[in-house]
Amino acid sequence: MNNIKIKTKTCIAKGITHEGEVRVFKGIPYAKPPEGALRWLEPQPLPHSEVEIDANEYGSSSIQPIDEEIEIASLHKQSENCLSLNIWTKYAEGARKPVMVFIHGGSYVFGGTCDPMYNGYRFAADQDVVFVSINYRLGILGFLDLSEFDAKYKNSGRLGLLDQVRALTWVKENISFFGGDEDNITIFGESCGGGSVSLLMTMPDAKGLFNKVIAQSGSYNLKKNVCLAKQMTREIMIELGCERLSELKRLSADRIRDYLARDCPSSFGFKAEIMFAPSADGQCLPVEPLVEIQNGCASDVKFMTGTTANEFFYWKLFTENLAERMPLFLAEQLYVQGIILHHQEQARKDFFEHRKSRDYEETVIGYSDEILFRIPTIKMADAQSEHNDTYVYYFTWESNIPGLKSCHALELPFVFNTLDAESSAAITGEYPPEKLARDMQSAWASFAKSGDPSNENIPKWDKYDSMRRKTMIIDEEWQVANDPEKESREIISKMFIG
Taking the C-alpha atoms of residue 158 and residue 262, their distance in angstroms, rounded to an integer, is 24
Active-site option among 76, 104, 387, 408 = 408
Query: What is the full DSSP assignment across 234-303?
Result: HHHHHHHT-SSHHHHHT--HHHHHHIIIIIHHHHHGGGGGTTTSPEE-SSSS-SSHHHHHHTTTTTT-EE
Active-site option among 133, 147, 191, 446 = 191
DSSP bridge pairs for 110:
none
The count of C-alpha atoms lying within 13 angstroms of the C-alpha of 316, restricted to the half-sphere facing its C-beta, is: 21
Is 496 exposed, middle or buried (CB count within 10 Å of its CB: 0-12, 13-18, 19+)? middle
354 is catalytic: no
386 is catalytic: no
Taking the C-alpha atoms of residue 141 and residue 281, their distance in angstroms, rounded to an integer, is 18
The b/e string for 264-293 (b: 16+ C-beta within 10 A; e otherwise) is bbeebebbbbbbbbbbbbeebbbebbbebb
Active-site option among 42, 311, 332, 370 = 311
301 and 211 Cβ atoms separated by less than 8 Å = yes
Listed residue (111, 88, 117, 83) closest to 101, CA to CA = 88
The b/e string for 137-163 (b: 16+ C-beta within 10 A; e otherwise) is bbbbbbbbbbbebeeebbbbbbbbbbb
Listed residue (188, 195, 196) closest to 164, CA to CA = 196
Q: Are strands 12-18 and 22-29 parallel, antiparallel or unpaired?
A: antiparallel
Is 26 exposed, middle or buried (CB count within 10 Å of its CB: 0-12, 13-18, 19+)? buried
Residue 484, classed as helix, strand or coil, is: coil
Question: Of how many residues is the chain composed?
Answer: 498
Listed residue (375, 365, 384) closest to 337, CA to CA = 375
Is 252 exposed, middle or buried (CB count within 10 Å of its CB: 0-12, 13-18, 19+)? exposed
110 and 358 Cβ atoms separated by less than 8 Å = no
191 is catalytic: yes
419 and 428 Cβ atoms separated by less than 8 Å = yes
| CB count in 10 Å sphere of residue 120 | 24
Residue 345 is which amino acid? Answer: E
Catalytic residues: 191, 311, 408
